[in-house]
Structure formats: C-alpha cells, structure tokens
Amino acid sequence: MSGVIAITIAVYLVAMLALGVAAYRYTSNLKDYILGGRQLNGGVAALSAGASDMSGWLMLGLPGAIYASGFNQIWIAAGLVAGAYLNWQYVARRLRRYTELAGDALTLPDYFENRFADSSRLLRVASALVILVFFTIYTSAGLVSGAILFEQVFGLDYHMALIIGTVSILSYTAIGGFLGVCWTDTVQGIMMFLALLIVPAVAISGMGGWAASVEAAATIAPAGYFDAFHGTTLIGAVSLMAWGLGYFGQPHILARFLALRDEQDMPQAQAIGMTWMVLALYGAIATGFAGAGYFAAAPLANPETVFLALSQALFNPVIAGILLAAVLAAIMSTVSSQLLVSSSAIAEDFWKRIFRKQASEQELLNAGRVSVLVISAIAMLLALDRDSTVLALVAYAWAGFGAAFGPLVLFSLFWGRMTRNGALAGMIAGAVTVIVWKHLSGGIFDVYEILPGFLIASAAIIGVSLAGAKPGAEILETHDAVRAGNTGRIVPE
C-alpha cells in the first residue's frame, strides 16, 4: 500500500513543482516575487489566504485536539471564524488601498515605514526582525507536520522525514515566488477542503451513522466529551477564542490583501474565503470526532495523526494517497507563504533598504531565493525536536504576530492620531509580552498569551501616541484619503 501512496504523493509533488516553474516565467522583479505584481483575482486570493492560513494545524492539530479532548476545543474554531470575518470585512479593503497610496508598499515593514514617514528605519527594522523570529518558529511547526506525515505513512526515521519534507517545500517557493505559492495554494486549498469533508463523512457512515458514532466516541471519554464547557472555564473559553485576534497581524495572510488586483474584488474573495473556512473547520472537527469513535477500541498513540490514520484505514491506496497529499498540501501552502514573507523581509527590508540600496532587481531576486534556503535550514534545526507538537508551535508564533502587528495594523488603518513612536512602542510591547507570558504559568498566566499581548500593545500605542506631537499634515492627508476611498498615490516612493 505504501508504494502506491508514495507514487501518488510523488506525482503531486512534481505537479506543484511544475506550477512553481511556470510561475518563474512571470517573476522578473522583486514586486513580482513578493506580491505577484498585485494581479491576483478574488478566487485565487481567497483560496490562497485560506490555505496559507490553516496549514497542517487544520489537518493535524485541530482534529487531534478534538480527538483527545473533545468538543471543548471548538472555541478555537469559533474565534478563528470571527477573526477571519472581521479581517476580510474591515481590514482587507482599507489595507489594500493604504499600501498602494503610501508609496506602493510591498511588505508590512514597507507599509509601516511609509505610513508614518519614518526616516529612521526603526519601524522597518523592528518589524522585519519580528517577522524573522516568529516565522522561523511558525515554519518549524510546518516542518514538524511534514515529518509526522512522512514518518506515519512511510515508516521513515523522523529526521529523514524532516529533510524530505523541507526539500519538497522550499523547492517551488524559491523558484516560483509569490505567484508560484498562490497558484499552488489554490490547488492545495481545494484538496484540503474536499479531503476534510470526505474523510469524516465516510468514517461516520462506516460506523453506522451519527448516532452510532456518538455512542462509539463516548467510550473514550464518557464524561463531558460532547460538552463544549467540560473542563473549561469562561476565561478558558475566551482564551481559546482569542486566537481570532491573531488574524489582524499575520503577514502571510495580509499579503493576499495587498496582492489583489483591485479592491473591488474584495466581496467575491470574502465570500469564497469565509465559505471555505467554515466548511473546512467543520470537517476538521468532524474528523477528530469520527476518529474518536473509529479508534475507540485501539486509541492512537499520537492524536495528531487521526486524519492520517483514518485515510489509510478507510480508503484504497490511490485515494488514500490523494488524501494524504492534501495534508502535505496544507503544510506546504503555509510554510511556502511563511518562507516567502521572511525572504521578502530580508531582500526588501534589509538588503535593499539598508545594505545594498543600489542593488539590481536580479540581485534582489537572488537575495530572496537564498533567504528561503537559509530560513528553511534554521527552521529545520528547530524542528529536530521530535517531541514538538504542531499546535504548540503554531500557537506561539500566531500569538507573536497577533500581538506585535495586530493592534499596529488596526490602529494605523483607523486612527489618524497614531504616531511613529506609538507604533514602535506597541510592536515591541506586544512581542515582548508574548515571549515573557509564554514562559510563565499558573493563574492568570494560563491565559493564551495573545490576549494580554494584544491589550498591552494597544495600550502602548494609545498612550505613547497621545503623549507625543500630532502626525504631520502629509500623513494625515493620506489617512483621510484612505478613509474617503480616494485613489492615487500621495506619499511618494
């Protein structure tokens, strides 16, 4: 069986690499490499945002949490849906408009510098460092997911599986840039969506329907498995829902808003993106539940392999190979996006702006591609720890971005009185709070670190901004133009 599955996954990998090679033809400068020339249509942007958002966490982490703990884990999904909706509804259009008006910004550090006319480069450097630190952790979570997949399916040594997964992902990212990532994301998003609906449906049907599945699942945790509040306090539920705050600060998701060809495509993108997300999350929850019933007699050693185990147990090798390729798709879509944003930070925000201001477009492209290799190597070293869990790594990085960038993005879009110093204070306060909070435990410190990080960062932005002088007239003029929906570049490059 493993031989057929291996061939199926190999065909999938070759197909993704082919898309990367095709995108290479359309990548002639740094803007193409980072944002695909701002030419994404609504459907591609939505599916790419969803696929790059959810990652192996959707296929491994969430089903594993439901399988192991029950329905008290659904608060994460509820918070994510709320956060994603608010992000599409209130951030996407305005951020797309603002980044184009403010010097045609290509990256978040680029936008922050232009938004506040920061000639000191402090905002750019600080935000680029935040991206590199937390994306390296985030990328390592994806590599752990890939290693678990290859280890589970092919019986490989974990470290060998890690190397194979890393090489598979970075190949088309370095070659195809943003377009390669988005085109593969579209295919991968569709695969993830279908796999998460098919696997639990077949498993539940095979156990005799919903009622029989509930009865089987109840044998694992008879008390409270189906109770959303079992073992969870109100503060605990709020803490899990706080995951939704992270959406406002995730660079790899916000990049899809920047890359849309026109802000008029937003309604279509939002409709596709939210439909995909709600159904995919439902499928992930249903997979964990179905696995609890299906493997009640012989519980899995690693809960995060529940989707993999169901795919292999329920389907013939060819179909199982396609379903397992969907897991690889989830992993690859997110890791490739993270590698691209990280390499963009190095090429655009360090190499071009600080070290080599006269660098040619080809030199910048090469710097971006080399950066992908370097960041992948560092992330792989972090992922060597076999005991790392996907959910824990993702939670840390998600909180880091959500607290450091989330308040900064929101206030910069909606509050004209915000200053450069306020932005810098908020970014540092959010990142430091997450790092410190993560290493404390007990009582209030058991709250997910994104919540205190987000609140402290917001307070720092407001306090420091109000304590300083008002922004200059040109900055306020740009802000008013964005609020009014005007087009046309105001702040020069």
End-to-end CA separation in angstroms for the chain: 57
User: What integer pLDDT is reported at residue 492 of this predicted model?
Assistant: 37
pLDDT tens per residue across all 493 residues of the chain: 467 777 877 787 777 667 666 666 655 555 555 555 566 677 777 877 777 677 667 888 889 888 888 888 888 899 999 999 999 999 999 998 898 887 777 778 888 998 998 888 889 889 888 888 887 877 787 787 778 777 777 777 888 888 877 777 666 555 555 666 666 677 777 888 888 899 999 999 988 888 888 877 777 665 677 778 877 777 888 888 999 999 999 888 888 888 787 778 888 889 998 999 999 999 999 999 898 888 887 888 888 888 888 988 888 888 888 877 777 766 766 777 777 777 777 776 666 666 666 767 677 667 767 777 777 788 888 778 766 666 677 788 889 999 999 999 999 999 999 999 999 999 999 999 999 998 887 778 888 899 999 999 999 999 999 999 999 888 988 888 888 876 544 443 3
Question: From the centroid of its chain, how far is CA 246?
Answer: 10
Return the beta strands (E) in 109-232 as ranges. Answer: none
| 404, part of any domain | yes
| 113, part of any domain | yes
User: What integer pLDDT is reported at residue 73 of this predicted model?
Assistant: 84
Residue 405 · residue 251 · CB < 8 Å = yes
Based on the number of CB atoms within 10 Å of its own CB, is 118 exposed (0-12), middle (13-18) or buried (19 or more)?
A: middle
Distances in Å between the Cα of 25 and the Cα atoms of 20, 365, 445 are 9, 13, 50
| 491, part of any domain | no
User: What integer pLDDT is reported at residue 23 of this predicted model?
Assistant: 61
| C-alpha torsion angle, residues 51, 53, 57, 63 (rounded to 10) | -70
| 489, part of any domain | no
Measured CA to CA, the distance from residue 410 to residue 427 in angstroms comes to 12
DSSP-derived 3-state class of residue 358: coil
Measured CA to CA, the distance from residue 218 to residue 224 in angstroms comes to 9
| 493, part of any domain | no
| 405, part of any domain | yes
Domain around 199: 2-484
Measured CA to CA, the distance from residue 108 to residue 125 in angstroms comes to 11
Beta partners for residue 491, in sequence order: 102
Measured at the alpha carbon of residue 51, what is the angle toward residues 47 and 56, in degrees to the nearest 5? 165
Question: From the centroid of its chain, how far is CA 89?
Answer: 18
| 490, part of any domain | no
Give me the CATH number covering residue 443: 1.20.1730.10
CA 34, 38, 44, 45 dihedral sign is: positive
| 74, part of any domain | yes
| Total domain count, the chain | 1
- Of 120, 87, 275, 265, nearest to 197 (Cα)? 275
User: What integer pLDDT is reported at residue 346 of this predicted model?
Assistant: 73
Based on the number of CB atoms within 10 Å of its own CB, is 472 exposed (0-12), middle (13-18) or buried (19 or more)?
A: exposed
Beta partners for residue 260, in sequence order: 40
